[in-house]
Amino acid sequence: MSSQQSMLSAKMANVSPFRVMTVMHRAAELEREGHKVVHMEVGEPDFSTALPIVNEAKKALDKGLTQYTSAPGIIELREAIAKHYKRKHRANISPDRILITPGASGGLSLLANMLVSPGDGVLLTDPAYPCVRNFIYMLSAEPQLIPVSLEQNFQPTLEQLEQFKTDKTVGLWLASPSNPTGTILEKDRLFAASDWAKSNGLHLLVDEIYHGLQYVEELPSVLEYDDSAFVVSSFSKYFGMTGWRLGWIVVPDDFVETANILAQNLFISAPSIAQYAALAAFTEEAEAIFEERRIAFGERKNYLAKELKSLGFKISDNIQGAFYIYANISKFSDNTEEFCRELLDSHHVAITPGTDFGEYKANEFVRIAFTTGMDDLKLGVERLKAALT
């Protein structure tokens, strides 16, 4: 270790880089060499931001609305989000409980700082979105990983929650729909997890960032049932605004004041133009565009799931949301990183190794994103066939 590196905080020892970034870097190199790479690694919609939102941003710029906003965000947007919960989930959420954050990432960071102390344990699934684990490490706390398998739809059972809870545990963090698995917590499971957390005196945080991108009739929000739960959400995915860096959190009444203080200190406010632009996300015109896109994602999912199965990948029969398939590659390899490297280098197909999302059976899985158009997906499938059959 160099003397400079010895200045790193001890907490950094566990904070791992995104392996998908290495894949993206290598893919960019191949593209510079003139190769056509099929991108199935990227966790963001390929569609650019819907026009009504872009136009609203232009208006805000013309009006010079470029200053900081209040720390929890502009009231109009918080009211629009509250209405959204009422309309979609019949949940009455006061706008006071909603804070606009720089992406769900800003929200997760705020909530982690508010709820987790050094030495605490937080129950998470393995696999899960990797940053969550790292946020816990950054607080010198311990992610308590619950292994979840394809056979259980990658969602934890109550027995597992009991089994993995220790004296250190302060919270349970879940995601529905989940990245990387695309599965959801159905109502009975979600509400049972809420009851369990309450009866054990733990906080419950649900990452609902992929809400809207669902391929099932019913996708419950924990807020329909539990006023004491914490929710993280975002304009990145369904609303197609990744680069605008805009998300939100919902906190219980008792936490509003502390969350505001943390927001002031951590980021002052979320980006102002993005907030004004997002007001248009709740118009009928924008929703029609999002719904068209959701249907396109659903068609891609159906196509890809069928092709992957026929190639010999083992996948869930029930991909219910988000834009990922977490596919078992045991038939082809027992080393996910090697498998992904070889696919990229020799066949120019970029996918993400399972090791990005945890440890449990990580070498047996890859995440394949359908965030690229049908033509490229078909090309990707052709290349997979050439590589694997």
Task: Compose the 246-265 pattern: x for residues touching ligand PLP by CB under 6 A, - for all others.
Answer: -x------------------
Q: How far apart are CA 141 and CA 166, in angstroms?
A: 13
> Is residue 143 involved in binding ligand PLP (CB under 6 A)?
no
Q: How far apart are CA 133 and CA 358, in angstroms?
A: 9
Task: Indicate the residue among 357 and 381 with the shorter CB distance to ligand PLP.
Answer: 357
Task: Indicate the residue among 69 and 179 with the shorter CB distance to ligand PLP.
Answer: 179
Q: Which residue has the tokens 């609305």?
A: 65
Q: Which of residues 191-210 bind ligand PLP (CB under 6 A)?
A: 207, 209
Q: Are 344 and 199 in contact (CB under 8 A)?
A: no
> Is residue 239 involved in binding ligand PLP (CB under 6 A)?
no
Q: Which stretch binds ligand PLP (CB under 6 A): 1-9, 97-105, 115-123, 355-363?
A: 97-105
Length of the chain: 389
Q: Which stretch binds ligand PLP (CB under 6 A): 22-30, 138-146, 234-242, 348-356?
A: 234-242
Q: How far apart are CA 5 and CA 345, in angstroms?
A: 32
- What is the C-alpha R_g of the chain? 21
Q: How far apart are CA 366 and CA 363, in angstroms?
A: 8
DSSP codes joined into one string, 49-111: PPHHHHHHHHHHHHTT--S---TT--HHHHHHHHHHHHHHH-----GGGEEEESHHHHHHHHH
CB of residue 175 vs ligand PLP: minimum separation in angstroms?
A: 5
Q: Where are the alpha helices (DSSP H) in 96-129?
A: 103-115
> Is residue 103 involved in binding ligand PLP (CB under 6 A)?
yes
Task: Compose the 46-65 pattern: x for residues touching ligand PLP by CB under 6 A, - for all others.
Answer: --------------------
Task: Indicate the residue among 60 and 104 with the shorter CB distance to ligand PLP.
Answer: 104
> Is residue 234 involved in binding ligand PLP (CB under 6 A)?
yes
Which residues of the shown chain bind ligand PLP in the complex (CB under 6 A)?
Answer: 43, 103-105, 129, 175, 179, 207, 209, 234, 236, 242, 247
